[in-house]
Amino acid sequence: MLTEWAGRTAVITGAGSGLGRELARQCAARAMNLVLVDVQDDALQAAAAEAKQAGAAVLACKVDVAQAEAMEALAAQIQQRFGAPHLVCNNAGVAAGGLVWENTVADWQWVLGVNLWGVIHGVRLLVPMMLQAAQADASWRGHIVNTASMAGLLTPPNMGVYNVSKHAVVALTETLYQDVRLLTDQIGVSVLCPYFVPTGIAHSERNRPAALAAGTPTRSQLIGRAMSEKAVSAARVTAAEVAQRVLEAVEHDRFYIFSHPEALAPVEQRMRAIVSGGCPPDPFAQRPEVGAQLRAALRSGG
């Protein structure tokens, strides 16, 4: 497990805002070297300046994590500047919703590109560097944290493209855990499954590439966006608190990280339905008024 922070290197994608920014702050406070990655340059530079002010050595890179060549260049920069990273937080994420058949090809490409391919690139490029470092030094320790979501363990309606991306991240990370364990005990793996946390992801359209521009939003997409923004704005757990839980999980080598453990009841219900061969359970069983609101809004046609 990774318990010594000073002088170690952390790579954080989506570092310009939200959870990534808080992870950068807390890693800087632990005297780590930082590789900060974001597609939004002004937010990235602000995060880098703050980390440098805190005394951290910083490599700030504007990178679209969905792009293979850009991520390959990033990996080479990391190797040259700091060597193998000790902590990798594949954290960049975007959100899109709506009824699943209404998502365009561009919607799928954008969301899967950032949420899934960004993690894939982080794993395929940085894990081999970490394994090489572990093989060369028996005292070397590292950890990978992939950001999924509670939507990676559940199937809430009207947000299918997002659900698919996050379920894939959970499956990838669980498999990564098993694969790494075949080779070494020096590298830990975790998956973060946050619930509603005010991180700015509800406004991720601001960084959507022009080549994957959204069409005119459908009624279901507008409704989903409004409900998501309302839920996020009412959230009581902060990004700083989640970042603290992430680093505590790394220190204790815990795999599953939850921002809201109380939200696990629906996950248990889903698992029971799978084992029993039943239908997916009511996603609004604990908050029926939300389900009623969504159905009424979608069926009204107004």
Known catalytic residues are: 162
- Cα–Cα distance measured from residue 96 to residue 203, given in angstroms and rounded to the nearest whole number: 10
Residue with tokens 């009207």: 158
3-state secondary structure (DSSP) of residue 184: coil
- Identify which of 152, 77, 78, 161 has the alpha carbon closest to the alpha carbon of residue 113: 161
Q: Name the strands in the sheet holding 142-147, side by side, starting at the edge strand that comes first in the sequence.
A: 58-62, 33-38, 9-13, 87-90, 142-147, 187-193, 256-258
The DSSP string of 77-130 is: HHHHHTSS-SEEEE-------B-GGG--HHHHHHHHIIIIIHHHHHHHHHHHHH
Tokens found for residue 100: 């699943």
Sign of torsion, CA 74 189 259 170?
A: positive
Nearest Cα to 24, choosing from 57, 65, 63? 57
Helices (H), 199-238: 219-233
Give bridge partners of residue 268 from the DSSP assignment.
Answer: none
Strand partners, 188: 143
Q: For 174, how many CA atoms within 13 A lie in the half-sphere containing its CB? A: 11
Q: Which amino acid is at 101?
A: W
